[in-house]
Amino acid sequence: MKACARIVLLLTLLIAVCHFSNGQSVSGIVNSYYQVTAVNSGANTVTVDNAAGLTVGQRVLIHQAKGAAITATNTSTFGDITALNNAGGYEFNTICTISGNDVRLRDQFVNAYSVAGQVQLVSIPSYSDVVIAGAVTASPWDPATGKGGIVVLEASGTITLNADIDVSGLGFQGGALVNYPTPTYDCSPLDNVTNFFLPMPASGNITGGRKGEGITGYILNAEYGRGKLANGGGGGNNANTGGGGGGNYGAGGIGGKRAGESITSCHGPYPGVGGCSLSSYGYTTGANRIFFGGGGGSGHENNGVGTPGGNGGGIIILSAATIAGGGGRLLASGIASVNPTNNDPYQAEGDGGGGGGGGGAIILNAAAITGAVTAEAKGGRGSDASNRVNDCTGPGGGGGGGLVWTAGTGVPASVTAVVNGGSNGIVSLGNTKVACQGLANGALPGGAGLGKSSYTPPVSAGPTCVVLASSELRYFTADPSGPGIVVSWALYSPAPATDIRSFIIQRSVDQSHFTEVASLPAKEDLILYRYIDAAENMDGDVYYRLVWQHGQGDLTYSQIAAVKRRAPPASFSFRLQPNPVTDRPLLTVMSERDGSAVAKVYNAQGGTLLTFALVLHKGANSIPLSLHTLAPATYFLVVEMEGRRQVGSFIKRGQL
């Protein structure tokens, strides 16, 4: 009787599931990114770097980040766009077949693509209903591989925003800092550097900061100097001028000059030019392109205390019948630059400040948007300059605002689009030259972005192949939000109508080798099923697929459902006691779990003086450091663990 009761209870639970929606809760990184190495328009295929994880029937996004042509003369027009080419082109598609790393797509290409312009294929998770239950983000844009920086989701029903989707600073990268120490890169009050582009390494005093990344590639031996790089901000020129802000819909602001110096000191009248506006190159139904926010240009640095350019914002694309606000925000803003070795990491201290990153792009392709939805694609703030010194070096320009683009005839009243340009930096109030405090020295804010309506996705001319997927399975999902992993699936018709006899759930950790987890019989009049897999003692990502058997014995396989279970980077904090320090102070690190870390001591010029390998246990870790080799001065201690960094300053005192 007990066995019969258990069977009745199981059937009751399975049938009860039919009365609940198939809403799934997600967080973390939900997309996968693939570098496209070849495009064959005739065969309607793309070749990717590694097709592992892609499945037939999967929805994908194609996007090309770069490829624009620019003016390359040493004039103020350097970086002007002369031809957009394929930059910003994108479309949605469905995988038809996979052969090795060649992926054939179902629908005929809408756009032409050139892999020299960095094309990526992004997997699109598709849901009936989905809840953003924890922060969702993207892998950062990687200029080496040309992938990352995009969050894209689809739902046939509702996307509910209970938590943030955040790609701020995950777009084009800001110009990296380069220190030009004196000597050998001495400046001269008689020689102002006017160049719009410069090579690296430079010679003599003809130096400039690195340009921010934009929708065109860097030109060999022209990566530095004040000229913009399409929507990437220009780097500040010698001596100590600010970088220009990155652009997107709004243009980036120009950087600030050096000011207040004596006639015999080096001058800096030529800061970085702001990245150009892309407002006339896309973001319309006719010219349907989407772009990352441009990177800000680096400030000019020769004292080791400048700031780089800020990164631009990434791209968010949500497609659903309804997008429902639930307190979560959509964030695709450019960011301000940071130098973690400075007293204040957000301010340059005697060098030029970096420009802010340009805002990214947010697309809301929904028939209805309910509740309050805040969508931010702001430009990043330009860096302040001249903190803690008696010199008025150039601040950074502000990043240009991005775009929030909604479907329909008007931006819904429920959507608050925040697309303002980033403010420019100023001469720091910590500067000891009172006459300069608070001045912009010519630095300007970024231009405003836009919130606009009438979005429509690119439309293909039609299919080129048929996806060989079962017409019996309505959906198959794996939800990790509960105590176990809930594997759910639904049929279009009850099992007797399809001659399905049983279901087998299979699990894998590598997407290639699957093992059976459970076998369930098909039930009459039941179209919705679920199974809870404890997945005990398993770390990392897990993959599931469903196999069902017909009366004739033949087997059919579902698409693969991925469950992302990578642990987030460890959180930690530290303190150094006493401070001012002795020769052997005590470093106390509070860590949320066991792991390894590295502690480094930097001088004021950014040079690494000491490195300590740390083995940490969960909780408080007390570690004595030997600092007897350090002379009396101010230093910086940086502790890094699993990609996270904490910075603090300390004073080494002399012997009493």
Helix (H) or strand (E) holding 125: none
Average pLDDT over residues 42-46: 94
pLDDT band at 509; cut points 50, 70, 90:
confident
Q: Which residue has the higher pLDDT, 150 or 540?
A: 150
Torsions phi, psi for 115 (to 5 deg):
-65, -20
Of 503-517, 525-539, 551-565, the least confident: 551-565
Residues 114-123 have a mean pLDDT of 98
Would 481 be classed as within a structural domain?
yes
Q: Is 214 left (phi over 0), alpha (psi -120 to 50) or beta?
A: beta
Q: 539 and 644: one domain?
A: no
Q: What is the mean pLDDT of residues 102-123?
A: 96
Strands 403-406 and 361-370 turn out to be parallel
Mean pLDDT value across residues 205-210: 96
Cα 366–chain centre separation: 23
One domain for residues 222 and 344: yes
> Measured in Å, how far apart are the chain's first and last C-alpha atoms?
86
Question: Is position 12 within any domain?
Answer: no
31 and 73 together in one domain? yes
What's the one-letter identity of residue 113? Answer: Y
Task: Report the range out of 95-99, 112-116, 200-204, 602-606 with the highest average pLDDT.
Answer: 112-116
The verdict on 455 and 505 lying in the same domain is: no
Total of domains in the chain: 3
Same domain as 483, residue 396: no
Q: How far apart are CA 157 and CA 22, in angstroms?
A: 10
Residue 591's alpha-carbon distances to 198, 204, 524, 542, 650, in angstroms, are 45, 47, 53, 27, 21
Q: Is residue 20 part of a domain?
A: no
**66 and 153 within one domain:** yes
User: Which pLDDT value is given to residue 631?
Assistant: 87
The pLDDT of residue 89: 98
Mean local confidence (pLDDT), 33-53 = 95
In this predicted structure, what is the pLDDT of residue 12? 32
Pick 580 or 512 by higher pLDDT. Answer: 580
CATH number at residue 584: 2.60.40.2550
From 542, 563, 584, give the residue that closes a domain. 563
Q: Comparing C-alpha atoms, which of 66, 85, 48 is closest to residue 216?
A: 66
One domain, residues 479 and 465: no
Q: Does a structural domain hold residue 599?
A: yes
Q: What is the pLDDT of residue 581?
A: 85
| Residue-wise pLDDT tens digits, 301-334 | 999 999 999 999 999 999 999 999 999 999 999 9
Rounded distance between C-alpha atoms, residue 495 and residue 474, angstroms: 13
Rounded to whole angstroms, the Cα distance separating 46 from 105 reads: 8
Report which secondary-structure segment, H or E, holds 5. Answer: helix 2-16
pLDDT at position 1:
36
Task: Output the average pLDDT for the chain.
Answer: 89
Percentage of residues in the chain with pLDDT exceeding 70? 91
Same-domain status, 496 and 459: no
Q: How high is the pLDDT of residue 560?
A: 78
Q: Which amino acid is at 241?
A: T
Q: Can you give the pLDDT at residue 603?
A: 80
- Using one digit for the tens of pLDDT, what is the confidence trace for 131-143? 999 999 999 999 9
Sign (positive/negative) of CA torsion 495, 499, 504, 505?
negative
Could you tell me whether strands 165-166 and 330-331 are parallel, antiparallel, or unpaired per DSSP bridges?
parallel
Q: Which burial class, exposed, middle or buried, applies to 536 when counting CB atoms under 10 A from its CB (0-12, 13-18, 19+)?
A: exposed
Contacts of 216 (CB under 8 A, 6+ apart): 66, 67, 68, 69, 70, 81, 87, 229, 230
Q: What confidence tens digit (pLDDT) does each residue in 431-458 have?
A: 999 999 999 999 999 999 999 999 999 9
- Residue 433 · residue 418 · CB < 8 Å: no
Q: What's the pLDDT at 466? A: 66
> Residue 158 is encoded by which pair of tokens?
């509702």
Do residues 353 and 492 share a domain?
no
Which of residues 429, 453, 469 is at a domain's end?
469
Is the CA virtual torsion 155, 458, 33, 47 positive or negative?
positive
DSSP class of 497: H
Q: Is 402 part of a structural domain of the chain?
A: yes
Q: Give the pLDDT confidence score for residue 645 in this predicted structure.
A: 77
Strand partners, 451: 404
* % the chain with pLDDT above 90: 64
Name the residue range of residue 620's domain.
572-652
Question: Tens digits of per-residue pLDDT, 231-240?
Answer: 999 999 999 9
DSSP assignments along 256-304, one per residue: PPPBS--TTS------PPPPPP-TTTSSSSTT----PPPPPPPPPBSSS
For the residues 590-614, what does the mean pLDDT come to? 84
Same domain flag for 261 and 113: yes
Residue 207 domain-assigned (yes or no)? yes
**How does pLDDT run across 4-36, given as a tens digit for each residue?**
333 333 333 332 333 233 468 999 999 999 999
Q: With a cut of 90, say whether residue 636 has pLDDT above it.
A: no
Q: Is residue 276 part of a domain?
A: yes
Predicted local distance difference test score (pLDDT) of residue 346: 92
Among 504, 528, 563, give the residue marking a domain's end: 563
* pLDDT, position 131: 96
CATH number at residue 491: 2.60.40.10
375-386 average pLDDT score? 98
pLDDT recorded at residue 19: 28
Rounded Cα distance, 427 and 269, in Å: 15
Residues 595 and 449 in one domain: no
pLDDT in tens, 515-543: 899 999 988 778 888 898 886 556 677 88
Whether 17 maps to a domain, the answer reads no
Same-domain status, 171 and 293: yes
Residue 643's Cβ-count burial label (10 Å; 0-12, 13-18, 19+) is exposed
pLDDT at 71 over 60: yes
| Tokens at 373, concatenated | 């939805």
Contact 90, 111 (CB under 8 A): yes
Q: How many helices (H) and strands (E) would you count in the chain?
A: 2, 35
Question: Could you tell me which residue, 555 or 438, shows the higher pLDDT?
Answer: 438
